A and B are shown apart, each in its own frame.
Chain A
Amino acid sequence: MAFIAVKAEHVNPFVTSTMETFSKMVGTEAKPGKISLKKNAVLNYDVSGIIGLSGGAKGVVSLCFPKASALRITNKFMGANHSDFNPETVDAIGELANIVAGNAKKGLTEFNIQISLPSVVMGANHQIMEPKDVLTFIVPFTTEFGEFHMCVSLKSGTP
């Protein structure tokens, strides 16, 4: 496979996929903010759904939420009314990340990306740390149920 440099435009399929996933499956509009490079920013979240990417590009896509947003969004997604985190909430966060990553693949066919099963990280004010040699892009999203971040770390395969 030819070497393809990772650019900010490669984040666009994940942005589109997030908007589509929230529109179709959560039933709410997710409005993206400006894409930025994470660099040394310290960002804290309460729950994050993480999917590993492999194939022609390697990396991670994550949906990272504060607790209030996570509960309101997953309750809408599932048709539930949970007031605190539980196994169903955790599963829903992982499934949202899974759908976003899976759907984004169709916009990244040049990389022939495969996705992992979802992992969910929980813990008040946790941080997601990426390797230093990988570009990490952050896209803030706003919804009627609160805010969240989508983070994409991508590194091209070996030339």
Chain B
Amino acid sequence: MRILLVDDSSTMRRIQKNTLEKLGYTDITEAGDGAEAVAKVAAGGFDLVLMDWNMPNMTGIEALKKIKGDAAMKAVPVIMVTSESEKTKIIEAIQAGAANYIVKPFQSEVLQEKITAVLNK
């Protein structure tokens, strides 16, 4: 299971990585913005992407739309992990193809539950 963590905050990447490792997922790659994420997903091999929304260079929602708009990448599930908490943002992400949506602040159990739900689909 290969997972891509996308967040401009090294803190958030560290927190999510710790949670994933507790779940037994150790093949984790990191990206610091949406553009880097799209390039890494395009290179292939990922089973799941955890994507922040507000990032420099390319936002998470822009990266999500690029991934879901590309035939070679669209099968990779993307979970948005973001402090954007309004319903309109959640709807926008789901309509763009997000597999799930996690609002910061979150407890690590919520992250675990949503990752497990997506990977077990």
Chain A interface (Cβ within 8 Å of chain B)? 20-21, 23-25, 74, 77-80, 87-88, 91-92, 94-95, 98-99, 101-103, 105-106, 109, 115, 117
Q: In the assembled complex, how far is the CB of residue B55 from the closest CB belonging to chain A, in whole angstroms?
A: 8
Asked whether any CB of chain A lies closer than 8 Å to the CB of B86, the reply is yes
Identify 20 new A-B residue pairs, CB closer than 8 A, beyond the known A103-B105, A106-B86, A117-B8.
A21-B104, A24-B106, A25-B15, A25-B104, A25-B105, A25-B107, A74-B11, A79-B14, A79-B18, A80-B14, A87-B10, A88-B10, A91-B10, A91-B11, A95-B11, A98-B54, A102-B54, A102-B85, A105-B84, A106-B85
Chain B interface (Cβ within 8 Å of chain A)? 8-12, 14-15, 18, 54-56, 82-86, 103-107
Enumerate chain A residues within 8 angstroms of B55, measured Cβ to Cβ: 117
Q: In the assembled complex, how far is the CB of residue A70 from the closest CB belonging to chain B, in whole angstroms?
A: 13
Q: Decide if the interface of chain B is mainly helix, strand, loop or mixed.
A: loop
Partner of B54, one of A20, A103, A117: A117
Enumerate chain B residues within 8 angstroms of A87, measured Cβ to Cβ: 10
Enumerate chain A residues within 8 angstroms of B8, measured Cβ to Cβ: 117
Are A103 and B103 in contact (CB-based, < 8 A)? Answer: yes
Enumerate chain A residues within 8 angstroms of B107, measured Cβ to Cβ: 24-25
Are B9 and A91 in contact (CB-based, < 8 A)? Answer: yes
Are B105 and A99 in contact (CB-based, < 8 A)? Answer: yes
CA distance A11 to B56 in the complex (A): 28
Enumerate chain B residues within 8 angstroms of A25, measured Cβ to Cβ: 15, 104-107
